């Protein structure tokens, strides 16, 4: 968001674009405990950063989750740590299983926040994946601050092995990546090694 200012919240085009979605994750809101995030028709959860640099002139970080009011009975916040996980009730939505939507916000690799909270955000994310995929399906979205550059998104030399693979397994087809960002940072390397089981549905945006 680069700051969720009053000007943005009163901008018709901006709000109209947001309101085309039922569940919204906003990152870098730069909000604090007193910040009012109000959009008609939505319930807002303001997860502001609890700590700031003493010399900072403004707040930093911050995540806001907006849920359309007509769906609030079927959606609940189950985790808000360094990722925010919401649960979609299978009975309310007529699903076969519960659906967990993880809104991930990874601090940039050189963020001073790591000096205050000594954690490996990828390890925590992996733990959450393993926990919630045992209960339902998991989808991941958010701001990873992960730059993958021109790294391949397929397994090199992947091929079909008749004594190992399923009959319908299709090897990855090599293709050339065209990207305007040629840089790969440490987060970009880590994002490629998150383990995914056959029952884990993943969709994510890399930012």
Give the tens place of pLDDT for each residue, 20-58: 999 999 999 999 999 999 999 999 999 999 888 778 888
DSSP characters for 107-139?
A: PPTT-THHHHS---HHHHHHHHHHHHTTTEEEE
The DSSP 8-state label assigned to residue 48 in this structure reads -
* Parallel/antiparallel/unpaired status of strands 136-143 and 98-105: parallel
CB 187 within 8 A of CB 206: no
Give the pLDDT confidence of 138-194 residue by residue, as tens digits.
999 899 898 888 877 666 767 667 666 677 777 766 777 778 888 989 898 887 656
Give the pLDDT confidence of 113-134 residue by residue, as tens digits.
888 888 889 888 889 988 999 9
Give the pLDDT confidence of 59-101 residue by residue, as tens digits.
989 999 999 999 999 999 999 987 899 999 999 999 999 999 9
CB 142 within 8 A of CB 182: no
Res. 199 pLDDT band, cuts 50 70 90: very low
Give burial (CB, 10 Å; 0-12/13-18/19+) of 99: buried
Res. 207 pLDDT band, cuts 50 70 90: very low
User: Which of the two residues, 112 and 95, has the higher pLDDT score?
Assistant: 95
CB 40 within 8 A of CB 15: no
Residue ranges of the domains in the chain?
6-191
pLDDT at 203 (0 to 100): 38
Cα(70)–Cα(37) distance, rounded to whole angstroms?
18
């Amino acid at each position: 968001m680069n700051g969720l200012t009053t000007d943005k919240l009163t901008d018709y085009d901006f709000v109209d674009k947001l309101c085309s979605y039922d569940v919204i994750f906003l990152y870098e809101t730069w909000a604090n405990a007193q910040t009012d995030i109000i959009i008609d028709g939505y319930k807002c959860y303001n997860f502001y950063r609890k700590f700031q640099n003493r010399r900072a002139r403004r707040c930093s970080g911050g995540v806001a989750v907006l849920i359309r009011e007509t769906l609030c009975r079927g959606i609940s916040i189950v985790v808000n740590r360094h990722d925010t996980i919401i649960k979609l009730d299978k009975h309310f939505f007529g699903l076969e299983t519960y659906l967990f939507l993880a809104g991930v916000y990874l601090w940039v690799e050189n963020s001073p926040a790591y000096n205050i909270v000594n954690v490996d955000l990828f390890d925590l994310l992996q733990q959450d994946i393993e926990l919630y995929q045992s209960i339902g399906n998991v989808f991941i979205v958010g701001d990873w601050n992960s730059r993958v550059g021109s790294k391949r998104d397929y397994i090199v030399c992947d091929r079909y092995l008749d004594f190992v693979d399923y009959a319908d397994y299709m090897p990855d087809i090599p293709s050339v990546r065209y990207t305007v960002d040629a840089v790969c940072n440490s987060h970009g390397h880590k994002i490629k090694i998150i383990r995914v089981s056959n029952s884990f549905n993943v969709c994510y945006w890399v930012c």
